[in-house]
Structure 1
Amino acid sequence: VFAELQISVDGRPYRLWVTEFLSRRVDRNNDGQLTATEVGLIPERLLLQTSAADPVEAVRMSGGQSASSAEPEPQVSCEDFASWFANELLQSFNIIAGAVQASDAVRLAALIDADQNGSVSEAELQTARHSLRFRDLDDDQTFTAAELMPFRDPRNQQAAVVPDVANLPFVQLSDDDSIRRAADQIVKRYGKDGAVSRTVLRLSESEPSQESMTSNDLIEFLRNPDHHLHLHVQLADAANASDVEIEIAPHARTFCSAESERRGRLKLSIDDMPIDLRARGGSQGARTMMVNFLLQRMATFDSDKSGYLSEDEFPALQQAMSEQLQIAADFGTVDINGDEMLLRDEVSRFIERDMIATQSQIEVSVRQDGKTLFKILDANRDRRLSPRELNEGFQQLAEYDRNDDHNISESELGTAYALQIGLGQTATLRIDSMSSMNRMAEQTDAVLPGIEGLAGPEWFRRMDRNQDRDVSWREFPGTRTLFDQLDTNHDQLISADEAEQLQGPRP
C-alpha cells in the first residue's frame, strides 16, 4: 500500500514553519531584516543542508544578490530568507520503532522464515529449534526474548525494548537509495522470475496495463507511485490541537478503510490489519519544559549569584546541555552579544533555536500491538519458547490461517500497529517516554515455576532442569531404552502425564 504524507504545522508547510520560527528568533534587533551575523546563529547542522558555503552567501542567495555585490554587510528580509531556507532544507523523515514489551518486540517470523516469503510454514516451525540454536545463549533448550533479541543487554531484562526498524513493515521512499532498496524487497518477497505482478501492486485502471514489472520498472514507478492513501497531518505547536485527515483512492476502498476516533486520531484498516494513527503536536510544551529545566539548572551554576554565568561558570551548564540536547555548545556561541555575561534570555534563545532544528525533521514512531507469533506460541505464558511449544505450535496457529495455505503471515495473526507522527524530539524526551514503558515492563523475560510449581512425580520434576514441564533426552540421566519406553508418543520429550504412567521401580 502506497501512502502520500503531507505535513503542516499551524497551517504552514512544516519546513516553512521551522524556517519562519528560526528567522524570528535570530533577528536580534527585531527589525525584520537578517544579517550574515544573525543567520550564523542558526544551528550549523541546518545551514549545512543548504547550497550556501557560509552565512554571507546564504544572505546573498536568499536575497537574490550576486556574489559580486558591493554591499559589505548584505541583508535580507526575514520572509525572503525563510522562503529560500525552507526550499533548501532536506525533506527529513525519520521512522523510529516505539518501545514495547520484550515479548512483543521479538520478530520471531523473521528469524525462522527460511525461504523469506513473509510467512511461516509448519515445516519452518518444526525446524525452528535448529534455526534458533545459536541464540540459546544459556544452552537450556528454551528461547527467551532476551536471547531472540541479541542487541538487548540480558542484565537489564526489566527494560522495555526497541525493535529493529528494518523489521517493521513501513518503508520511506525519499531518495534513490531507499527507492532501490524497496524495489528489490518487493520483487524478492512478492515477485517471480525477477518480476512482480501488477495485481500485487494493486494499481488503478489508469496506470499502464503491463502485466508485470521488473526491478528497474518498479524503481521508475516508485519515483511517482500510484498512491492508495493521501494523509494530511495538521500538527499544532500548541498541545491538543493537532488533526489528521485521510483520502482513500477509489481503487483502494476495497482493502482500505478509515474511521475518525477523535480529533488527531484515525483508525485505519488495511487488509483487515488495524493501524492506529495519531498526530502528535504540542512541540511548544516540549521546548518550554526544556528551557525551564535548563534555566533552573543555570541558577544553581551561578556560584557568585550575579544573575549571569561567566565563562568559568559555563562548563556546568555546557555539560547539562550536552546531556539534554546532545550538543557541544561553547561559551561564545551562546553569548550572542559577546559581553562575556551569559544571561537567561541568551540561554533561552539558544535552547529554542537548537530544539527547533531538531523539530525540523518529521518523526514517525511505530509501535507493534496486537498478537505476535512469540506470544501465541508461548502457551503457558512463561515468556519463553520451549521445545514442545515449537513442536506443537502450528496447532495453536491453525485458527489464524484464514486462507488455508498452511502458511501464517503477520496480517493473519491480527497484528496491529500504532503510528505517531510529529516533529522531531530530542533523544532525552524520547528516552523519557521509553522510561514510562519501563515502569510498566514485565519483571523478567522468563518466569520459572520452581520445582514446587511443576506437575509429575518428584524424580521427573528434579530432572526437568530448565523447568519447561518436559524432560528431554539431554536432561534424562537414564538409558536411551528407558527414555524411549517413557516417551510413549515418541515426540522426544517426556511429559508429566507420561512420567505418571511409569510402572515398577522408579529411576
Structure 2
Amino acid sequence: MTVATHFLAVTLALVAAAPDPADDASEAVGDTARTLVFLGEERPVFLRLQVTAGDRPFDAAWPESIRIIHACLDRDGDGKLTTEEANKDALAALVRLATGGATTLPRGELDVSPKDGVVSTDELAEVLRPVLGPFHVQVGRLAINRTDALFDHLDRDKDGELTRTELATIAGSLRRLDLDDNEMISPAELEPFNSPTAMAMAGNAADRQARFTAVPPVIELVAGESSLRMARLLLKKYDKGRGDVPGRPDSKLSPEEFSIDPDAFARVDTNHDEALSTDELRKFLARAPIDLDLEIALLPDASGGATTRVRGDGVLPKGTQVRQLPDGDVEIAVGRIRLDVHVDQGGTVAETLRRIYLRQFKAADANKDGYLEGKELPAENVQVQVQAQGQVSPLAGLTKVIDRDGDGKLYEKELIDFADRQSEAARGRLVLTASDQGRAIFGILDLDRDRRLSAREVMRTVDRITSWDGDGDGRVTADEIPYHFQVNIARGEFTGLTGAGVGVANPAIGSLVSPKPAALTAGPDWFRQMDRNRDGDISTVNSSAPAPSSTASIVTRTA
C-alpha cells in the first residue's frame, strides 16, 4: 500500500437527481470533460472524466503552474523571462525532471508574439502544453502473459480451466504458498524460484513494452481532433479477419470482432455489410455512447482526499456495476471489463521531493561543507554527465536555475526552495496512468490493493471466481475471467525521479519485496498489538498459539 493511498479517502455516490432533459450531456459535465477509451480484449470502454479542484475545473489551475515555471526560469527575478534565461537546455531539463525522459521540446520558437526578446507566460504555455499540459494520459505496465501465476497454481490438472474443486484447494494451500509465514500471499511467493534479478528485468521489460506498445490500452479522444488515428488503432486492436482467409486482417470490424452495442453497430453500418470500415468507425467515434460519467472532486490544497462519484439518474447503464473498494478506490465493471480507479491527491509529493533532493545533496557533498561547488555540482550538459558518470542526475542542466544568487555554490536551502516551487507547479498537472493487467486473478482478488492476499481475501476466492462462470458449466476458463485495468489518477506526479511517480512504489521493486504492512488504526490497542501482519484479523498464528490447519482460523475482526 503506497504512502499516497494512506492519505487518501475517496467516497462513492450515485447522483440521484434526474437530469433536466434540456441539458446536453456535455453541458452537464462541462467543457473540460475528457473522453477516455480503454481498449479491452473484445470491445472498448468509453469513460467521460470530469475533474474539479475546489469550485473550479481542474484545468483552471494550470496557468498558475506555468507562472511558477516562468518565475523559476527568471533567474534575476525581475518579472521578465528573457530568451537567454529561457534557453531550451534549462527548459528541457525541467521537462525531463517532471516526465522522466522528455529531454526535447516541440519544435518552435519560445519568443513568438510579440518577438521582443521576452518570453511571456502565454508563449511558455504554448510550448509546454504538449508535454506538461494540465492533463496527460500515459501507459503503465502491461501484462506479459494472458493469465498470471495464481491461475497456474489453481489449475492443478493444467487443462486451462478452473473448477470449484480446484478453487477450494487455495484455502488449504495458504500455508504452503506463504513462504515467509505471515499469513499473506505475495506475487513473489507465487513464483519463489525466480531470480530476483530476472524478475526485475522482466518488470523493466514490461515498462518498456508499455511505453512503446503499438496499441496503448487507453487513449484520450480529444474533441476537435481527427479521429483517423483512433479508428486505425481500433482496427489494429480488433481486426482478426474473417471470410475466406480467417486470421488475416481485412481492414473491417465485424460484430464478432467488435462487441459494441448492436444498435450502435447497425447505426453506423451505412452500407449494411455487417462490417465497419475506417470511415464508419470514425462515424461511430463521433457519437460513441459513453459507458460511464465519472466525476472527481479534488480539494484545492493537500489537506484531505478526493471525492469520486458516478454521474447519472440513480440507475447505472445496462451491464455496468460500480462498487467501493477499501481505501476509497473504485471498481467499475462494464460487462467483463474491470477498471480499478485510484485517485492520488498528491498530498505527499512536496515532502517526498524534498527528501529525494536532500539525499542527493548529501551524497554529492563530498567534503561535507554544506554546499556543492565545482565537480560536486550536477553537470549542466546531460551528455557530458552520461559520458563521465554513466548516469544522469535529475538536476542535470538546472544548476543555474537553482543557484538563485549566482555565486556558483548550491546550498541546501536553494535546493529546498527549488523543490517546493516544482511540487507547487506540479499540482496544476494531472496524470492518468492505465496499466493493462490482462486476465490476472491476483489483482482482482486483492481487494485492498496492498499486493498481498490475506486469509480473508483467500477465503472469498471460490465465490468470487465461480461468479465469472458465464455459461454455467461449472468451469471458469481464461476467457471468462474479467479483463482488468488498473487506473491511477495522480496530481503533481514526478515520473522523472522514480520511474513510477513520486510517492508511488516502483512496480518492478514491488514485485520483489513484500510491502511493509500499513499501520492499523481501527480497533482497540490490544487488538492492534496482536494483529502482527496488519490484515485486520486475529488468527491463532497472529496470537502465537499453535498454527491452524486452514485459513478458517480467523476469530475476530476490527469494527
TM-score range, shorter chain: 0.5 to 0.7
Partner residue of 2:433 out of 361, 364, 367:
364
Shift, 1:286, TM fit: 2.4
Q: Distance in 2 between matches of 1:254 and 1:375?
A: 22
Deviation at 1:437, TM superposition (A): 4.2
> 1:288 matched to which residue of 2?
351
Decide whether the 8 Å contact of 2:105 with 2:127 is kept in 1.
Answer: no
Equivalences for 1:381-392 in 2 at 5 Å? none
CA contact 1:7–1:234 (8 Å) conserved in 2: yes
CA deviation digits over 1:331-365, x for unaligned, max 9? Answer: 44544554312233443355567776799572414
Structure 1 residue aligned with 2:512: 438
What corresponds to 1:279 in structure 2?
A: 343
AA in 1 matched with 2:197: N
Q: What's the counterpart of residue 195 of structure 1? A: 253
CA displacement, residues 124-152 of structure 1 (integer Å, 9 cap, x when unaligned) = xxxxxxxxxxxxxxxxxxxxx99xx9xx9
Shift of 1:309: 1.7
Please say if residues 265 and 278 of structure 1, whose CA atoms lie closer than 8 Å, have aligned partners that are also in contact.
yes
- CA offsets 1:120-178 (integer angstroms, 9 cap, x no match): 899xxxxxxxxxxxxxxxxxxxxxx99xx9xx975636769645646999332568545
Question: Structure 2 vs 1, CA of residues 2 and 315 (structure 1 numbering), >3 Å: closer, same or farther?
Answer: closer
1:339-354 alignment to 2 at 5 Å?
Answer: 339-351=407-419
**Aligned counterpart for 2:397 among listed residues 320, 329, 334:** 329
**Maintained 8 Å contact 2:323/2:331:** yes
Contact 2:83 2:118 in 1 (8 A): yes
Contact 2:151 2:440 in 1 (8 A): no
* Number of aligned residues: 370
Deviations 1:299-335 (A, max 9, x none): 4644555543212332599989997965643644544
Q: Which residue of 245, 250, 260 corresponds with 2:309?
A: 245
Matched to 2:339, the amino acid is: I
Contact (CA 8 Å) 1:324, 1:428: kept in 2 or not?
no
The alpha-carbon deviation at position 96 of structure 1 amounts to: 0.4
Question: Unaligned stretches of 5+ in structure 2?
Answer: 1-44, 96-101, 153-159, 163-186, 222-226, 446-464, 516-559
* Alpha-carbon distance in 2 for matches of 1:226, 1:293: 44
Q: How far, CA to CA, are the matches of 2:148 and 2:241 in structure 1?
A: 24
Instruction: Report the Cα offset of residue 187 of structure 1.
Output: 3.3
Distance 1:244 1:324, change over 3 A: farther
1:308 aligns with 2:371: yes
TM-score of the aligned structures, taking structure 1 as reference length: 0.54
Q: Secondary structure at the match of 1:42?
A: helix
| RMSD value, Cα | 5.5
Q: Which residue of 1 aligns with 2:333?
A: 269
Match of 1:92 among 133, 136, 142: 136
Which is greater in Rg? Answer: 1
Match status 1:412 vs 2:480: yes
The residue aligned with 1:104 is: 148
In 2, the alpha carbon distance for the partners of 1:219 and 1:428 equals 38
**Would you say the 8 A contact 1:234–1:243 is kept in 2?**
yes
Structure 1: distance between partners of 2:303 and 2:228:
36
Q: Determine helix, strand or coil for the equivalent of 1:438.
A: coil
Report the equivalent of 1:482: none
CA shift in 2, pair 1:255/1:97, >3 Å: same
SS class of match (1:257)? strand
1:171 pairs with 2:218: yes
Q: State the secondary structure of the residue aligned to 1:245.
A: strand
Q: Is the 8 A contact 1:160 1:437 kept in 2?
A: no
SS class of match (1:312) = helix
Q: TM-score, normalised by structure 2?
A: 0.50
Residue matched to 1:215? 277
Structure 1 counterpart SS, 2:341: strand
Task: Please show how residues 64-103 of structure 1 align to structure 2 within 5 Å.
Answer: 65=114, 67=115, 71=116, 73-74=117-118, 76=120, 78=121, 80=122, 84=126, 87=129, 89=131, 92-97=136-141
Q: Secondary structure at the match of 1:23?
A: helix
Letter in 2 for 1:403: D
The structure in which a higher percent of residues are helix is: 1
Letter in 2 for 1:22: I
Aligned to 1:459: none
Cα distance change of structure 1 residues 364 and 23 upon mapping to structure 2, 3 Å threshold: same
SS in structure 2 of the partner of residue 200 of structure 1: coil
- Distance in 2 (CA, whole Å) between partners of 1:234 and 1:273 is 25
2:298–2:345 contact (8 Å) kept in structure 1: yes
Q: From the superposition, tell whether residues 258 and 330 of structure 1 become closer, same or farther in structure 2 (CA, over 3 Å).
A: closer
